[in-house]
A and B are shown apart, each in its own frame.
Chain A
Amino acid sequence: MRTLLSALAAFALLGAGVADAQQAQTPQAQTPRKGGTIRMTAPYAASFGSLDPQVTPRAQDQIVNQAIHRPLYTWDTANNKLALELATEVKTSADGLTHTYKLRDDVTFHNGRKMTADDVIWSYTRIMDGSKGYPGARYIRVIKGATEVEKGEAKAISGLKKIDDLTLEMTLTERVEPGYYLFAGTTAILPREEVEKANFAANPVGLGPFKFKEHIPGSRVVMERFDKFYKPGKPYADKLEVLIMAEAAARDVAFRNKEIDTSILGPAQYVAYRADPELSKGILEVAEMFTRAITFNNDVKPFNDKRVRQAINYAIDTDLIIKRLVKDKAYRATSWLPPSSAAFDKTVKPYPFDQAKAKKLLAEAGLPNGFEWELTTSQNESWGLPIVEAIIPMLDKVGIKIKPKLVEATVLTEILMKGEHTGLISSNLTGPDSLAVLRSFYSKTPRTAGHYTNFSNPEFDKLLDTAAQEGDTGKRNDLLKQANNLLFEEAPVWFFNYNKAVLAYQPWIHGLQANPTEITHQYPEDIWVDTRPPAK
């Protein structure tokens, strides 16, 4: 009992905002310092799936895999674009299909062997093994001849040709930017001799800035600096620990107690950290490439009528929900593509909250008294039941009665793929390849391949077809921008928000990047720890 009373007293003190003086008074160091330990957190599950990056597409696993492994391309966060990672240059043929890469000559695997073109070819061929379910196959399929390997009709990918040890020629099936396909963690380049040993996932060997040291399942992965990393002088830190912390409240305590260096924040913590004079100094924010929306099944009446879809967009006070429920930890969506996309149109205004207009549109659509609608949702706090509960009274005012159908997040994709929804609220990956993202609204895309709305619009299709054939990046982006704006006007979904990912970091940590593809996927070679020793 005494314990409990003391605990309550301590909690009350914390609530009153007792600040840590030491953190506030230490000056910021400016020059990267070598040494120290980075303690990052993995918040998405209570364990890691696999440390073989080609086996797992999960965001949780990629936090570790980003430190140990690397793919051919990377996402340059500073310039918000793709960049070569394992090659120094690429030459593209006039038809835009053949790309010749000059690979870096200083890339060494953690076992001491230099990387060559053979490693790239072997890695991509492994991913296309048709007897296995490698998630990266969806990307490698863009290389000519990869599908034949997948089907078992060929042993080698015909579109991959080794010119010499450090020169690789890659022929694609269509005119696309290969970086969008080959920057995914699931396409990392691996050393064959290590993968073919038993238990590669238990003893992963890569070519990233940190080499694997220890994995305590359910607890942490520890990595050490790789001295032969190809970026001179990097990584800075001696050690990197990725600690599994699935529970937000526990992460909060550990962060305040300086036991961890980074922590992803949920809406409630975001409010508390912003209000705290000290904690607010260490907050990194970015609009991630995830668009939260209600996917209408455009096959089903009355959602086959654009006016009904638009009416719902007008009838919901989206700004109010973002402010009150999501605690401003989101940016209002003004299109399907997120702000980091080159095809995003900053001039587009969101649907205003206008219930009179919503009623008028419903009446025009022959539904003056509204209709009843089953909305599928998960428990998710940012894009699930709490949001649906807020929407119910808003739509009720225009005559739309919602029957929420609560399901586990685990089955959302299955429901979407089977088309078993009339409306379903979810978070959707919407980057970085704008063309591929918009193809989820292309009429010829099968539902199972992400066309969950079954939206069909010839004008939209034509814009995508033209964009796919366009070799000039600027012109292509203009076409995609038009398609994106058309989609917004057609409203095949309720446009809710883009996730504002928020990462809290300790004052002694530097070099973090606001990565819009996933904020927890940091580039640990750039992170450094200053001289302020973290408390143990």
Chain B
Amino acid sequence: MLFVLARRVANIVPTLAAVIAVVFLLFSVLPGSFVSAMNEDGRTTIDPAVMERMRKEMGLDDPLPERFAKYVAHTVVGDLGTSFRTKEPVTKLIGARLWPSLKLVFAAMSIAIAIGVPLGFIAALRPGSAVDTVSMVGAISGLSLSQFWLGLMMMYLFALTLKWLPSFGYGDGGIRYLILPAVALGVGPMALLARTTRAAVLDVLNADFVRTARSKGMSERRVVEWHVMRNALVLVITTIGLQFGSLMGAAVVVEKLFSWPGVGSLLVDSVFQRDIPTVQGCILLIVIFFLVINTLVDMAYVAIDPRIRYR
């Protein structure tokens, strides 16, 4: 187990190095800068001398290799730089958004797992039944729905019409404010999990070892619990891991719609305003989150499937 963990952690380092280099280079060649972006709304004018000074202050005119070297040197010691916009450390900006983001992602994923996995299981155990048909139609709909549209419809229904929940915002950070964005974000992964679970279970149900177990006289419940669930879980956990890891970045639309103060909305705002240190910091965080989740998933494989342990 420790060997697998060490190997996975060692793999993270080159991945992070590649991400740092690619993000830095991409934003270096992208047209526009923080200074020119100050007039993106057409509502202000910036003096050219001030623009020049801002560029100098932010190091935008320094040679690319010099900027890259500085960026790498700071990043490896955990200094993500200073935001062009707020003049605050990027770590502080991200720190303020991290908890709301994690709350949203964990809530969305909990909804997805709690509904998607059992639904997929039930559908697979009764293939062709009404439950299977309805749940799979629901899953396909869930996958096809735009988060924006679904979120807006939920706002109309649960906030405006039924008056059950607030339509937007972070409020006191309580669950009332979390429900709508979490559901809007969780429906997609939930649908995907339902379909994946169904496919995985059906696959295992048709495997030779299941037939052997049944022929030995093992009860259906025991076959499902001991053989089917455990074997199907590998694919299910892979899907959970991939979805979990990507949700923090994918939450952008939901965060913006519900004015949820997460990392996703910070990232988008920073991209449009060319606040490069913040963009780099946000992407780095999202990538680290993805890699950590996937390392945990790898560890889970080892726990679930002994065959992986001996490889």
Q: Show the binding face of A for B, using Cβ within 8 Å.
A: 1, 3-4, 6-8, 10-11, 13-14, 44-50, 52, 55-60, 130-135, 137-138, 150, 199, 201-202, 216-220, 243-247, 249-250, 253-254, 256-257, 259, 290, 380, 383, 407-414, 417, 426-429, 446, 448-450, 518, 535
Out of B48, B54, B55, B169, name the residue touching A446 (CB < 8 Å).
B48
The interface residues of chain A lying within 8 Å CB-to-CB of B209 are none
The answer to whether A11 and B169 have CB atoms under 8 Å apart is no
The answer to whether A216 and B261 have CB atoms under 8 Å apart is yes
Nearest CB of A to B89, in Å: 10
The interface residues of chain B lying within 8 Å CB-to-CB of A243 are 168-169, 259
Pull 25 A–B residue pairs with CB atoms less than 8 Å apart, ordered by A. Answer: A1-B137, A4-B153, A7-B157, A8-B153, A10-B157, A45-B272, A46-B259, A50-B86, A57-B44, A133-B50, A135-B50, A217-B96, A244-B261, A249-B257, A250-B155, A253-B159, A257-B167, A290-B42, A408-B272, A410-B36, A410-B273, A412-B36, A414-B31, A414-B36, A417-B48
Q: Which of B11-19, B120-128, B263-271, B286-294 contacts A (4 or more CB under 8 A)?
A: B263-271
The answer to whether A10 and B160 have CB atoms under 8 Å apart is yes
Nearest CB of B to A328, in Å: 20
Nearest CB of B to A330, in Å: 13
7 nearest A-B pairs in the assembled complex, by CB-CB distance: A218-B261, A427-B42, A133-B54, A138-B47, A7-B153, A411-B32, A414-B36
The answer to whether A201 and B50 have CB atoms under 8 Å apart is no
Nearest CB of B to A169, in Å: 25
Nearest CB of A to B289, in Å: 18
Out of B50, B161, B266, name the residue touching A218 (CB < 8 Å).
B266
Known contacts: A133-B51, A250-B152, A427-B43. The answer to whether A4 contacts B141 by CB under 8 A is yes
The interface residues of chain B lying within 8 Å CB-to-CB of A218 are 96-97, 100, 170, 255, 259-262, 265-266
The answer to whether A220 and B86 have CB atoms under 8 Å apart is no
The interface residues of chain A lying within 8 Å CB-to-CB of B31 are 407-408, 410-411, 414
Question: Once the chains are docked, how many angstroms separate the CA of A10 from the CA of B260?
Answer: 24
| Chain A residue at minimum C-beta to C-beta distance from B34 | A410
Question: Once the chains are docked, how many angstroms separate the CA of A290 from the CA of B42?
Answer: 8
The interface residues of chain B lying within 8 Å CB-to-CB of A518 are 43
B136-158 with Cβ < 8 A to chain A: 137-138, 141, 145, 150, 152-157
| Chain B residue at minimum C-beta to C-beta distance from A217 | B96
The answer to whether A412 and B97 have CB atoms under 8 Å apart is no
Question: Once the chains are docked, how many angstroms separate the CA of A482 from the CA of B45?
Answer: 25
| Chain B residue at minimum C-beta to C-beta distance from A43 | B41
Binary interface profile of B, 29-60, with partner A (CB < 8 Å = 1, else 0)? 00111011111111111111111011111000
The interface residues of chain A lying within 8 Å CB-to-CB of B272 are 45, 408, 410
* Interface footprint category on B: 35 or more
Interface of B is mostly: helix
Out of A46, A55, A414, A428, name the residue touching B32 (CB < 8 Å).
A414
The interface residues of chain B lying within 8 Å CB-to-CB of A417 are 36, 48
Nearest CB of A to B150, in Å: 8
Question: Once the chains are docked, how many angstroms separate the CA of A154 from the CA of B259?
Answer: 46
Question: Once the chains are docked, how many angstroms separate the CA of A44 from the CA of B269?
Answer: 10
| Chain A residue at minimum C-beta to C-beta distance from B41 | A44
Nearest CB of A to B146, in Å: 12
Nearest CB of B to A427, in Å: 3
The interface residues of chain A lying within 8 Å CB-to-CB of B269 are 45-47
The interface residues of chain A lying within 8 Å CB-to-CB of B51 are 133
| Chain A residue at minimum C-beta to C-beta distance from B33 | A414
Q: Which of A10, A202, A429 has the most CB of B within 10 A?
A: A10
* Any A CB within 8 A of the CB of B85: yes
The answer to whether B157 and A3 have CB atoms under 8 Å apart is yes
The interface residues of chain B lying within 8 Å CB-to-CB of A448 are 48
The interface residues of chain B lying within 8 Å CB-to-CB of A409 are 40-42
Question: Once the chains are docked, how many angstroms separate the CA of A244 from the CA of B170?
Answer: 10
The interface residues of chain B lying within 8 Å CB-to-CB of A257 are 159-160, 163, 167
The answer to whether B40 and A246 have CB atoms under 8 Å apart is no
Nearest CB of A to B267, in Å: 10
Known contacts: A1-B141, A413-B36. The answer to whether A132 contacts B53 by CB under 8 A is yes
The answer to whether B152 and A249 have CB atoms under 8 Å apart is yes
* Any A CB within 8 A of the CB of B210: no
The interface residues of chain B lying within 8 Å CB-to-CB of A60 are 41
The answer to whether A429 and B42 have CB atoms under 8 Å apart is yes
The interface residues of chain B lying within 8 Å CB-to-CB of A133 are 35, 50-51, 53-57
The answer to whether A14 and B156 have CB atoms under 8 Å apart is yes
The answer to whether A253 and B156 have CB atoms under 8 Å apart is yes
* Any A CB within 8 A of the CB of B93: yes
Question: Once the chains are docked, how many angstroms separate the CA of A412 from the CA of B42?
Answer: 9
Question: Once the chains are docked, how many angstroms separate the CA of A32 from the CA of B266?
Answer: 39
Nearest CB of A to B282, in Å: 12
Out of B45, B53, B257, B259, name the residue touching A429 (CB < 8 Å).
B45
| Chain A residue at minimum C-beta to C-beta distance from B84 | A49
Out of A10, A56, A202, name the residue touching B88 (CB < 8 Å).
A202
The answer to whether B169 and A219 have CB atoms under 8 Å apart is yes
* Any A CB within 8 A of the CB of B198: no
Question: Once the chains are docked, how many angstroms separate the CA of A450 from the CA of B100?
Answer: 42
The answer to whether A135 and B39 have CB atoms under 8 Å apart is no
Known contacts: A59-B44, A446-B48. The answer to whether A7 contacts B265 by CB under 8 A is no
| Chain B residue at minimum C-beta to C-beta distance from A48 | B86
Known contacts: A55-B87, A414-B31. The answer to whether A216 contacts B170 by CB under 8 A is yes
Out of A56, A59, A137, name the residue touching B47 (CB < 8 Å).
A137
Known contacts: A46-B268, A133-B51, A411-B31. The answer to whether A259 contacts B37 by CB under 8 A is no
The answer to whether B57 and A132 have CB atoms under 8 Å apart is yes
The interface residues of chain B lying within 8 Å CB-to-CB of A217 are 93, 96-97, 261, 266
* Any A CB within 8 A of the CB of B195: no
Nearest CB of B to A171, in Å: 21
The answer to whether A50 and B36 have CB atoms under 8 Å apart is no
The interface residues of chain B lying within 8 Å CB-to-CB of A44 are 41, 43
Question: Once the chains are docked, how many angstroms separate the CA of A1 from the CA of B36?
Answer: 46
The answer to whether A59 and B266 have CB atoms under 8 Å apart is no
Nearest CB of A to B215, in Å: 40
The answer to whether A47 and B38 have CB atoms under 8 Å apart is no
Nearest CB of A to B176, in Å: 10
Q: Which of A44, A219, A257, A518 has the most CB of B within 10 A?
A: A219
Question: Once the chains are docked, how many angstroms separate the CA of A3 from the CA of B137?
Answer: 14
The answer to whether A428 and B156 have CB atoms under 8 Å apart is no
Nearest CB of B to A515, in Å: 13
Q: Which of B32, B47, B49, B88 has the most CB of A within 10 A?
A: B47
Out of A46, A220, A290, A408, name the residue touching B266 (CB < 8 Å).
A46
Out of A57, A219, A535, name the residue touching B261 (CB < 8 Å).
A219
The answer to whether A58 and B33 have CB atoms under 8 Å apart is no
The interface residues of chain B lying within 8 Å CB-to-CB of A250 are 152, 155, 167-168, 257-259
List 17 additional A-B contacts (Cβ < 8 Å) besides A1-B137, A256-B160, A518-B43: A1-B141, A4-B141, A4-B145, A47-B269, A50-B86, A57-B38, A133-B50, A133-B53, A133-B57, A219-B170, A245-B259, A253-B160, A253-B168, A254-B168, A290-B42, A383-B42, A450-B45
The interface residues of chain B lying within 8 Å CB-to-CB of A49 are 85-86, 273
The interface residues of chain B lying within 8 Å CB-to-CB of A8 are 153
